[in-house]
Structure 1
Amino acid sequence: MTDTVDSSYLSTRRATRLSTLLPVLLLATYFSASFVLRLLRGGDLASDEAEQIRLSHSLQLGYGDQPPLYDWLFYYFAKIFGASVDTLAFVKNGTLLLSCIFLCLAARKVMGKRETAWIAPLGFLSLPVVFLLSQRDLTHSVGAFAVVAFFLYVLALMAERPSTGNYALLGAAAGLGFLAKYNFAIVPVATVAALLLEPGLRRLVFNWRLAVTIAVGLIVAAPHVYWIVTHLDLATGDTLKNLRAAASAGMPEQVVAAWELLGAIVKCSALTLAILAIVYRGHIRTILGTSSEWTRVIGRMLVISMFLVYVIMLAVDATIMRPKWISIFFVAFPLYLAFKIEASGVQVPGAIGKLVALVGAVIFISLGVVFVGSFH
């Protein structure tokens, strides 16, 4: 009997170690391969990469119609290592890796040291904007991914220990988010609304320390906000023009905007949901039908964010919505699914291994396609 118990215990420990080792190996291999293949593609720069090289010669409060955080980050790395393809590839892949790390930390902060926490970073890798668009030509969005992941981690940290320091850290994350991507400003608003709708977490909003969060966020963003006010034409650039297009004949702009937004939402989330549906086949209805405190908070954050995006689209007469423009909000989507799976109590033997295999197949095939396509 004792031998049987010992054997079962050892098997469980081996399975736990394997479920931890496989995602770590995938992350290490993928980002190393991404770095190496970008170097092998040579010095032909995509538009965002060329912009980074051009702007790396000076440090300014603002540069154009994109916020400056990623420009600042690359500037300092370029000063140390030189403005080169190597540095571009290192900064981009390092920033994406940071996104994975912070999402995993956020999941573990809520769920504890459980293997389901790996669903968050693995799900993040399965987002098309991450494994495809980021490897082609994204910079500012990549920086925003990391800040959103950091914001979510600090939010979980603050819920566990609502200290003045954690409130200040959340404010710093919010300020950095605005400096990474202007539409990040929606995230704190959606967060406050989602917390107010959750009775057990309302205390986080009705706390004097929230003033510290706001103050720190404003201090972090203030220098660039001043630059925006004094360079309004340069800051707005072609943003509004890119959002607008002639509406379909006979279709109200409100309907066109809603259809565009819905299409972008599906493109951002469908593949990740499909992969998890394969891994947890037979249980997906149970998982989606289960809720917990944190699934409700993150789910409401996503819904409120999309509603605010739609309101903004109507306000500026926007009739185009590309997935990459709302991609920063979907950094939270894999975390939401991880919380759903945890709350449901569904356990599928070898689930993390299967998830690693499926996500690995998708991201490495895509990496190969991007590499081969760069020579045509």
Structure 2
Amino acid sequence: MMKKLTEWVEWIGEGKLGPLDAAIALAALYCAFQVLTSSLVSHLAGTSVSIDDAEQLIYLPYLWAGYGGSQPPLYTWIVWTATHLLGTSVMTLKIIKYALIFLALFSVNRAVRRLGFSSTTAAAASFGLMTIAQILWESQHTLTHSVAALAFSALALLTLVRLFKSPRPLNYALFGLVAALAILAKFNDIIFLFAMLAAGLSIREFRPAILSRWLLLSGVIVFLGLTPTVLWSYQHPEAILARVYKFGIDQPHQDFFFVRANGLRELAEAIFNFSVLTAVICGASFAAERLNPTARLSGSNPGEKFVGRTLAFGLAALMLLVLVSGTTTIRDRWLMPLLFLLPAYAAIRAQLLGPRGKEVRYHIISVGLTLAVLAIPVTWYAQAMGGKGKSRTVRLDYLALLSDLQADGPVGTILASSSWIGNFRLVDDNLVLLNREVPKFDALLRQPAVLVWLDTDEPETEILDRLRQTGYSEAGQVKTVAVPERFGGAEGRRVSFVRLKKQQPANPAAPD
């Protein structure tokens, strides 16, 4: 049995499936399997999508240069395009997510190969991504923009490595395009791009490509690609700054040095939380073969230097950003567009440490694949059950709830504080769905409109304030219904709603 498993892992690292490397083919099969099965689970269970995907459904009708909630636009552009081609469905959303996950796996694999390392090292680098909890679990379960950030960071890595090996104008143009897309996927991808360029500049073999005048072409394409979103952000500062509070920057009464120390501590905790599982798995793999991953290498390898220095420059840039900005809140998933290189660096080091390093890479492949397979039923469960609080909204019967909302007449607009109402798009594609972060709120709101909220007697004050600024108020009595909930109790989920009316302006004073 063990011999068969060993042979199978060796085939994944070194074999072929048709014209493709076995690792790439297997990654494609895994992602396709997850698209089909998770969509089937959703269909059979009668459930919808998580909060992050529901947010995309709110913005689905609009192709703008930017969107609300401090979020970049690329993922929403991809959703807009895919749904116009394939229709609005849970399967379409799953296709988008797993296509991006596959793009990350593929790009890391090809980048490591182009840096001159073996197919086994490339397989370990890509399947090693599945040792990262934010990729193994969160990316499959709930994330959207962060998945795009991972995919286009990995693609930017591949295009830059391609440029190093073949510094032609076309490759500079391609790098500029992908760099712009990476920034539009997640604004913090700028840090990763800076780290890669700084790393390339520090390495003699790659320096000419960075210093080439053709890099200006990359810069021009990045500028042109970002200009519409930059202009839109300038015109909609409230949308781009909506979630700045998440960084914990505004602490005017705290000591300057205390705030910075607290920010560095948060960064260290985020790095630990992000990398601990990967570090334990890779460390145990090296230990099993009695190899020291930090041992001094006998020769200089530019590829190993590039990956290692990209990580080092990126972490240094993050530390500097924390010190300058006073950020005191850092979430581990924000580090994904940089620290996804950790498994690749471990696999590269393993190859350079000699013959026993091949076994280290086999261990990483084995554990990564095992974790990926074990995650499958858990992702199915999450698709059917959601989580706690608002995450349970995947289990609501939205058709029944829409029927309740329309009991007193048609509904054109549904509003709520949170993005869970995006799931109504899967029931009626013609509805206007708004939360308080949607830009052009005033212009989009159309009557008849209804405000909806969960579990409490009163809606959140933020959405009420936004409505009053727009000139709307409650019309009539609040109604509360028990909405059927898949896999829930017989009592259902408590949902309250009230119809809205446009306030009439006061009559001007009569002339004397």
| TM-score > 0.5, shorter chain as reference | yes
**Consecutive unaligned residues in structure 2, runs of 5 or more:** 1-6, 17-21, 388-512
Q: Aligned-pair distance for 1:216?
A: 1.3
Q: 1:358 to 1:266 in 2, by over 3 A?
A: same
Q: 1:348 to 1:341 in 2, by over 3 A?
A: closer
Give the whole-Å Cα distance in 2 for the aligned partners of 1:219 and 1:187. Answer: 20
Whether the 8 Å CA contact 2:74–2:184 is kept in 1: the answer is yes
Q: Aligned-pair distance for 1:314?
A: 3.0
SS at match of 1:182: coil
The equivalent residue for 2:477 is none
Tell me which amino acid in the other structure corresponds to 1:300: R
Equivalent residue in structure 2 for 1:76, among 54, 78, 81: 81
Equivalent residue in structure 2 for 1:336, among 324, 334, 345: 345
Q: 1:348 to 1:203 in 2, by over 3 A?
A: closer
Q: Aligned-pair distance for 1:289?
A: 3.9
Q: Could you give the per-residue CA deviations for residues 311-337 of structure 1, whole angstroms, max 9, x where no partner exists?
A: 222333221111111111112222222
Equivalent residue in structure 1 for 2:285, among 274, 279, 283: 279
Give the whole-Å Cα distance in 2 for the aligned partners of 1:349 and 1:147. Answer: 29
- What are the equivalent positions in structure 2 for 1:21-32 lying under 5 Å apart? 23-24=23-24, 26-32=26-32
Give the whole-Å Cα distance in 2 for the aligned partners of 1:316 and 1:286. Answer: 34
Q: Aligned-pair distance for 1:105?
A: 0.7
Q: 1:24 to 1:351 in 2, by over 3 A?
A: farther
- Indicate yes or no: 2:35 matched with 1:35: yes
The equivalent residue for 2:161 is 156
The equivalent residue for 1:48 is 52
The equivalent residue for 2:476 is none
Q: 1:205 to 1:194 in 2, by over 3 A?
A: same
Give the helix-richer structure, 1 or 2. Answer: 1
Tell me which amino acid in the other structure corresponds to 1:32: A
SS at match of 1:345: coil
Q: Which of the two has higher C-alpha Rg? A: 2
Whether the 8 Å CA contact 1:26–1:360 is kept in 2: the answer is no
The equivalent residue for 1:63 is 67
The equivalent residue for 1:300 is 309
Q: Aligned-pair distance for 1:352?
A: 5.1
Tell me which amino acid in the other structure corresponds to 1:35: V
The equivalent residue for 2:129 is 124
Q: Aligned-pair distance for 1:173?
A: 1.3
SS at match of 1:83: coil
Moved more, 332-341 or 56-65: 332-341
Moved more, 182-191 or 198-207: 198-207
- Indicate yes or no: 2:236 matched with 1:231: yes
Q: State, as a whole percentage, how many aligned pairs show the same letter.
A: 24
The equivalent residue for 2:394 is none
Whether the 8 Å CA contact 2:289–2:360 is kept in 1: the answer is no
Normalised by the size of structure 2, how large is the TM-score?
0.66
Give the whole-Å Cα distance in 2 for the aligned partners of 1:285 and 1:70. Answer: 41
Normalised by the size of structure 1, how large is the TM-score?
0.88
Q: Aligned-pair distance for 1:18?
A: 4.9
- Indicate yes or no: 2:175 matched with 1:170: yes
Q: 1:313 to 1:80 in 2, by over 3 A?
A: same
Identify the structure with bigger relative contact order (alpha carbons < 8 Å, sequence gap 6+): 1
Q: Aligned-pair distance for 1:140?
A: 0.7
The equivalent residue for 1:321 is 330
Give the strand-richer structure, 1 or 2. Answer: 2
Q: 1:253 to 1:275 in 2, by over 3 A?
A: same
Moved more, 101-110 or 283-292: 283-292
- What are the equivalent positions in structure 2 for 1:139-150 lying under 5 Å apart? 139-150=144-155
